[in-house]
């Protein structure tokens, strides 16, 4: 017979069923995680998936509320990809909502596969006994390419460890000081200084490329014009000056066009 979930489970029911006390300090294996999910809502059943249950951990999936570069982004089935540009930061939430009893802690971090894509997770690693709610954390993309996370797909992992028995002398349980929302955690609307510096450098490089193109084009036009103009006296003597004046005029028009194009490109690069 299943025991009804307590609001804040203080004693491990496994001990009441005759479980060994040497379990204290042990990492929960998948059968124990499943037991606390089914009987005590360790992970809310609406988001729990057997596919994400591993031998001694559970894969957490990407939730709906995110922020990218300090700007809100809501993921849905029609907009399910979070694209993190190089050196940018995203603040993410988990789809899963946890409810830890007072004799368990959680330890979570980003999945190894995501870390090798260049993502750096900077959240608090321990989830305290008694915690209830979703998990939130900033994730930096330190690679030089865009990394994509998908809504409701695994991006982090968590394992659970039994503590010593909870007693009156154990101290007060976890007390929530912030609402269970992403806005309450990301109060400063975190953005990446590295990304802004990289974007500034990219703009400067673009302007330099445009400037070099304009300068070399103008130099080529100037030398061409000088070469033609230097031959004008000889051509005038032969009576064919008219055939030189038209090309020179075209070169001047081309020089003006190159200058205007460079000015427009420079404004667009800002």
What integer pLDDT is reported at residue 22 of this predicted model? 54
3-state secondary structure (DSSP) of residue 159: strand
| Element at 147 (helix H, strand E) | strand 147-150
What integer pLDDT is reported at residue 123 of this predicted model? 84
Report the alpha-carbon distance of residue 33 to residue 27 in Å, rounded: 10
Report the alpha-carbon distance of residue 161 to residue 105 in Å, rounded: 5
Structure tokens at 19: 């479980």
Confidence bin at 190 (pLDDT 50/70/90)? confident
Q: Is the domain 13-191 a CATH 1.10.1040.10 member?
A: no
Report the alpha-carbon distance of residue 6 to residue 42 in Å, rounded: 11
What ranges do the domains of the chain cover?
Answer: 13-191, 195-268
* Average confidence (pLDDT) over 87-98: 95
pTM over 0.75: no
Of 33-37, 111-115, 211-215, minimum mean pLDDT range: 211-215
Report the alpha-carbon distance of residue 167 to residue 10 in Å, rounded: 8
Of 48-57, 64-73, 81-90, 180-189, minimum mean pLDDT range: 180-189
- Angle value at C-alpha 134, between 168 and 29, nearest 5 degrees: 70
| Greatest extent of the chain over all pairs of C-alpha atoms, in Å | 117
pLDDT of 18-57, one tens digit each? 555 556 678 999 999 999 999 999 999 999 999 999 999 9
């Amino acid at each position: 017979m299943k025991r009804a979930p307590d609001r804040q489970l203080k004693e491990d029911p496994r001990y009441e069923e005759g479980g060994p006390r040497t379990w204290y300090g042990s990492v929960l294996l998948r059968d124990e995680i499943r037991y606390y999910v089914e009987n005590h809502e360790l992970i809310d059943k609406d988001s729990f998936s057997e596919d994400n249950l591993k031998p001694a951990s559970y894969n957490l999936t990407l939730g709906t509320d995110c922020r990218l570069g300090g700007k809100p982004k809501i993921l849905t089935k029609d907009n399910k990809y979070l694209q993190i540009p190089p050196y940018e930061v995203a603040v993410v939430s988990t789809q899963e909502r946890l409810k830890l009893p007072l004799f368990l802690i959680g330890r979570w971090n980003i999945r190894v596969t995501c870390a090798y894509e260049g993502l750096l997770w900077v959240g608090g690693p321990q989830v305290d006994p008694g915690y209830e709610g979703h998990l939130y954390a900033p994730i930096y993309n330190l690679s030089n390419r865009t990394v994509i996370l998908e809504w409701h797909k695994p991006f982090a992992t968590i394992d659970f460890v039994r503590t010593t028995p909870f007693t009156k002398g154990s101290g007060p349980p976890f007390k929530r000081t912030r609402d269970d929302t992403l806005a309450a955690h990301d109060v400063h609307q975190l953005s990446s200084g590295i990304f802004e510096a990289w974007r500034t450098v990219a703009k400067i490089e673009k302007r330099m490329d445009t400037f070099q193109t304009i300068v070399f084009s103008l130099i080529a036009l100037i030398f061409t014009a000088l070469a033609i103009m230097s031959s004008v006296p000889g051509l005038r003597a032969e009576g064919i000056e008219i055939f030189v004046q038209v090309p020179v005029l075209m070169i001047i028009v081309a020089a003006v066009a190159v200058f205007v194009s460079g000015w427009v490109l420079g404004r667009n690069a800002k």
